[in-house]
Amino acid sequence: MNNISEETTKKKQIVSGLHLLRDYLSHSNKDSLNLSSQTLSRLKSLSTRLSHSGKEINSSNSQVDKNKRIKDLEYAAKNDKELGSVDSLRNTFVFSDGSVESELMFVGEAPGYEEEKLKKPFVGPSGQLLDKIILAMGLSRNKIYISNIVKYRPKIGDGRQGHSNRKPTSDEMSLSIKYILDEIEIIKPKLIVTLEELQLKDFWD
């Protein structure tokens, strides 16, 4: 019983730490971090714990099957006429990046200027910082699954906004939420880290 309690406490500490990291990334304009050896050790221990948990579940879902389901979902989202015709969103589709076999999933709100340009989530300044954090965990970006709720960059005014970005509205996220929920169902991550100021719990109902 004590072992279960200790493990639960450790998991809560990990989640709490990652939420703090999320908040830091969302409010910081820095492109680098100074991490102590103790912090690096803890980040690496997280990737170890993830790799040793629930392997039986992952083994029952082949990578080929997950890849196909994600590709099918991407096609469905890209060809969703209702979603693609929202006037407040731009017209460049940005889906996900990373491994369908990942046990760690990062979820953001919507693509920005850099993401729209490269058609990949989290490749701007905050994404570059996130990559460094992932590297400090002993992982690489291609081993993590990263996606956004909204699949199009939110429009400002008539869309001639240069590098400027804005947060998606709750209506824009509500229209898109079904796809991120399907992604979660397919990937079946052990841990979901919400980035920016996103609270997924607001959309579960």
The answer to whether residues 95 and 151 touch, using CB atoms and an 8 Å cutoff, is yes
pLDDT score of 40:
58
Span 68-96, mean pLDDT? Answer: 96
* pTM of the predicted protein model: 0.70
Q: What is the pLDDT of residues 103-151, one digit of tens each?
A: 999 999 999 999 999 999 999 887 888 888 888 888 889 999 999 999 9
User: What's the CA gap between 192 and 205, in Å, rounded?
Assistant: 18
Instruction: Flag the least confident range among 16-20, 22-26, 56-60, 173-177.
Output: 56-60
Q: What is the pLDDT of residues 73-86, one digit of tens each?
A: 999 999 999 999 99
Instruction: Flag the least confident range among 28-32, 96-100, 113-117.
Output: 28-32
User: What's the CA gap between 47 and 58, in Å, rounded?
Assistant: 16
Domain boundaries, the chain: 2-198
**CATH architecture entry for 2-198:** 3-Layer(aba) Sandwich (3.40)
Highest mean pLDDT among 122-126, 175-179, 198-202: 175-179
pLDDT score of 64:
85
User: What's the CA gap between 82 and 62, in Å, rounded?
Assistant: 32
SS (H, E, C) the chain: CHHHHHHHHHHHHHHHHHHHHHHHHHHCCCCCCCCCHHHHHHHHHHHHHHHCCCHHHHHCCCHHHHHHHHHHHHHHHHCCHHHHCCCCEEEEECCCEECCCCCEEEEECCCCHHHHHHCCCCCCHHHHHHHHHHHHCCCCHHHCEEEECCCEEECCCCCCCCCCCCCCCHHHHHHHHHHHHHHHHHHCCCEEEECCCCCHHHHCC
Give the model's confidence band at 191: pLDDT under 50 very low, under 70 low, under 90 confident, else very high.
confident
Q: Which residue has the higher pLDDT, 45 or 110?
A: 110
With 50 as the cut, is the pLDDT of residue 57 above it? no
Structure tokens at 160: 């001639």
pLDDT score of 137:
80
